[in-house]
Amino acid sequence: MVLTFDDGRATDYEVAFPLLLAAGARAEFFINTATIERAGYLTWSQIVEMHRGGMSFQSHAHDHVLLPGLPERLLRNELETSKRLIEDRVGRGVDFLAAPYGLLDRHVVGVAREVGYQAVCSSLSWPARPGGAIVNRVAVYRDTTAARFAGILGRQPSPTCRASRGPC
């Protein structure tokens, strides 16, 4: 199991990072590079400090936009810009893209692979295979109940997930 955080919010540094360090845990942070240094979001110095503390930084695209349906040039720019900025600032390769809103299609996955990502993470019930191009994730939100969270940890899908085949 891998713990991930999306969007690069300031609370990742202020709240999650100290808790992760205290627990001796590591996490993957998927960041939107367009929001870095903006109010309420991570700064580059915080990102570098977190990286030195054992956290990993990956791409959540440059802007937080829907990737499916973007014209080819804009899609490539979203994926390449984010990857390059993180690699340049952190000094480590970026291998994973978490699609904003968890939405992607075959074209997004193909372009992501072409520009150098090993895999794309989604929150949808895509069929996933070890070593495949798509990695499934389970979303936990502020309003996720303790019972639901326990079910997630026990790998028990919610009744809505079984019925809709939507995000689990």
Q: Is the pLDDT of residue 13 over 70?
A: yes
Confidence of residue 157 (pLDDT cuts 50, 70, 90): low
Supply the pLDDT for residue 163: 35
Alpha helix positions (H), the chain: 10-11, 17-23, 44-52, 72-90, 106-114, 146-153, 159-164
Instruction: Look at residue 145 in the predicted model and tell me its pLDDT.
Output: 85
